[in-house]
Amino acid sequence: MQLKEKLGFYLKNQFSTQQLWQTSVFFSFLILGACSQPTPSVESTLPPLIPREILFSDQNKMDLRMSPSGEFISFIAIADGVRNIWVTENGDLNQARQITFSKRDVFYEYYWSPDERFIIYQGDSGGDENFAFRSVEVETGNIQLLSIDGNVRSQLYGLSATYPDRIVLGYNQRDPRFFDLYSVDLKSGKNELLFENTAGYDRLYLDNDLQIRLARKPADNAPYYELYKIDKRQNGELFYSIGLEESRTYRILQFDQSNQVFYVLDNMDSDLLRLLAIDYQTGKKTEIAASARVDLEDVIFSPRTAQPIAYTENYLYPKQKWTGDALFQFPSIFDDQRIQIIDLTNDEQKALVRVSGKKPGRYYLLDKDANHQLIHAEREMLQAMDFSDPKPVVIKTRDGYDMVSYLTLPPGSDQNQDGIPDQPLPLIINPHDGPWRRVSYGFDSFWLWLANRGYAVLSPNFRGSTGFGKAFMNAGNMEWGRKMQDDLNDARAWAIDQGITEADRVGMYGMSYSGYTSLMALARDSDKYACAVDGFGASNLETLLNSLPKYWMVEFEEIVKRMGDPRTPEGRAFLKERSPIHYVDQFKKPLLIIQGENDIRVTQQESDQIAKALKDKNVPLIYLLLKAEGHGWFQHDNSMAISGITELFFTKYLGGRFEEMTDEMEKSTIEIVEGKALLESMQQIEEK
């Protein structure tokens, strides 16, 4: 069945389900008082299954950008299974022309050059994170490799309207720990050395003339990092220090047009990140904006003055705010949505804005006259479907912290809309990755996929999450596998107390850091969880820290202060006590492992060693190895196969709904390392 046919089938059946529910409610009023009626089952109130192909389809336009003059709109879409770039001149995305034709690179980000002659884009090969940059000339389609050849990682350090024909890239070729900077011509690809980083700086900051003005490196002792001014001879002078407590979230943003003032998100004299201006010569700080509840984020700068004009406050819901007079008036249809200013034209007369919330994202063009034009709706087939709005809830931890969390319920399961389902549901705890980031309100196809299958989904911001002040984030220091894990158990207990779920119907699904929490859930608390999914999770914190990429090692001293130190006997003992691999005897419940073959962050060793140990203990286990993938998956066929297997896994152990699999595994690059027999037994559920 084609996608549009599947969509038509869904909408037809969704309407029938709603009609049936409305009819049953009408007749219940007729006999109210004569007898009590049983509550409809959750299954009977759920809409039809949304096909995975529709939920996770990449066959759509994404990552829209507007060129500096506003003449062009660009976007990424899939061509032959690979992300590529399209451009249109008239705003009609259906008339766009493809300008890149990659067959292997995975696209991560792309940028317009200030004179909009070029688009600069970044990609790697098979998820290896050895990023390379290329330029494509918009008019001719000529593509030029900008990064130097070899097994080298490239990073973008600067673009400038003053020098629109070149950018500054950094390479770790000379020393894999540090990045030397090069000025790169966008047309020819010629590289000229700009700065040889022999001083060991881990971060370098350029002004609007592409000159290095600031650099950061770890201090020999506390305070933790030192920021240096860099003069015209490229010599460093100590400016100020950044402590461990602030180091994970403190952000230097950019210089203004004068190149004498730079902007930061600063929490050195406060718990919360504030937006400050700092005078380069005197160091004087001026506060521009602050919040009483959260760290500020997503600062937007003026293309004319390079000064901040907007930012986001994000507690339960993200709120866009202006630093001064509003540059644009947002229409009322943006109310209660997440608003993201993607691009502004150089004259600040037009803005490309993305809004999202209960529905997938929609892109609008705004002008100064308050006109707004919808130019693209993401995942068009999902826009008309019935989804539950993720509900923010605040959960108290056992020691008194507030955890802002998001609860998503299946549509139709909460008839009185009080945030509690009419009867308990199977629950999936879905912590975020990082762990030094946060989860926010917005459209999340993962949450909505599982809700459509009949699960409640709860995503907590546990201690160690960013966004809620440095005290809350630093409360996670040295608490991997302990208090951070306790927070997840507290979220589970809250859901049981609220009647959202029952004690024997809770699973966990996690990726990266939260893959580790899935392993720890079964290692520490097998009595609390019916099953778990671990994607790219560390099983041994000692081997994890000893295998980090070389260019992460500059921050190693900070990392070990937050996790534990593998270089000392005491540190190794601590890491052992926090590592799932040392608790294999306590694993009792089924586990699904997902691992990328080319993952450089959490290497294959982490999944191999826990899978082998659990196999020897006869723990129910499926281990999927993704060929030609890294820390995550980008290939559409792999996405379809993984989501299908995950559905079957949760159906078997938690009892939700599923869509049958067909040939997804045959199309994927997935190797079933362990658990073929278990997977075959799960597929028999489909046949029944």
**Cβ atoms < 10 Å from Cβ of 141:** 13
User: 178 near 189, Cβ under 8 Å?
Assistant: no
Q: Measured in whole angstroms, how far is the alpha carbon of residue 320 from the centre of its chain? A: 19
* Catalytic residue (one of 372, 376, 432, 631): 631
Interatomic CA distance for residues 591 and 641, integer angstroms: 17
Structure tokens at 39: 């509550």
Strand partners, 459: 406
User: 414 near 490, Cβ under 8 Å?
Assistant: no
Pick from 411, 434, 430, 431: nearest CA to 421 = 411
Told to judge if 599 belongs to the known catalytic residues of this protein, a careful annotator would answer: yes
Grouping H, G, I as helix, E, B as strand and the rest as coil, residue 392 is strand
Compute the half-sphere exposure of residue 163: CA atoms within 13 Å on the CB side of its CA.
Answer: 16
Question: Which residue type, as a one-letter code, is found at position 419?
Answer: G
The string of DSSP letters for 580-629 reads GGGGGGG--S-EEEEEETT-SSS-HHHHHHHHHHHHHTT--EEEEEETT-
Pick from 57, 46, 50: nearest CA to 10 = 50
User: 307 near 254, Cβ under 8 Å?
Assistant: no
How many residues are given for the chain? 688
Interatomic CA distance for residues 281 and 2, integer angstroms: 63
Residue 488: enclosing H or E segment and its boundaries?
Answer: helix 483-497
Pick from 138, 156, 139: nearest CA to 147 = 156
Interatomic CA distance for residues 226 and 243, integer angstroms: 9
**Cβ atoms < 10 Å from Cβ of 41:** 11
Interatomic CA distance for residues 305 and 261, integer angstroms: 11
Interatomic CA distance for residues 611 and 623, integer angstroms: 7
* Catalytic residue (one of 74, 512, 579, 668): 512
Interatomic CA distance for residues 130 and 122, integer angstroms: 10
* Catalytic residue (one of 599, 607, 636, 639): 599
3-class DSSP string for 489-529 = HHHHHHHHHCCCCCCCCEEEEEECHHHHHHHHHHHHCCCCC
Grouping H, G, I as helix, E, B as strand and the rest as coil, residue 544 is helix
Told to judge if 668 belongs to the known catalytic residues of this protein, a careful annotator would answer: no
Interatomic CA distance for residues 608 and 538, integer angstroms: 10
Indicate which residues carry an active-site annotation: 512, 599, 631
